[in-house]
Structure 1
Amino acid sequence: MTIKETAKEFQFPEYAIRTLVKRGAFPVIQVGNRCYITREIFADYLKKGGGLYDAKFE
């Protein structure tokens, strides 16, 4: 989903999602200037109460 779609679906401010993306709070898919967010990852981020993404390979 794009940032705009994510903001609309989760009723979350678009500017806040952009800030989180810049901070690396969760993984995104970057294609050129576009940024795509996986629905499950963003939902998990909100459920856990935020925090920086910790990439652990299991």
Structure 2
Amino acid sequence: MGVPKRKSSKQRGRQRRAANEKLEAPVLVSCPQCRALIRPHHLCPECGYYKAREVVAAK
């Protein structure tokens, strides 16, 4: 098994970790009924539709 020749610095470990800890924008799709932006597989808050049928009455 390989053994490190030198102690790895705190900076090197933190740089490696920082590449995977970034924030990402939420994924949005358009509602097929009203074209509002919604999260996929969620009820549309604008029109109350989910999968081509009204689940909640619109406001």
Mark the structure with the bigger radius of gyration.
2
TM-score normalized by the length of structure 2: 0.25
Is the helix fraction higher in 1 or 2?
A: 1
Higher relative contact order (Cα pairs below 8 Å, separated by 6+ residues): 1
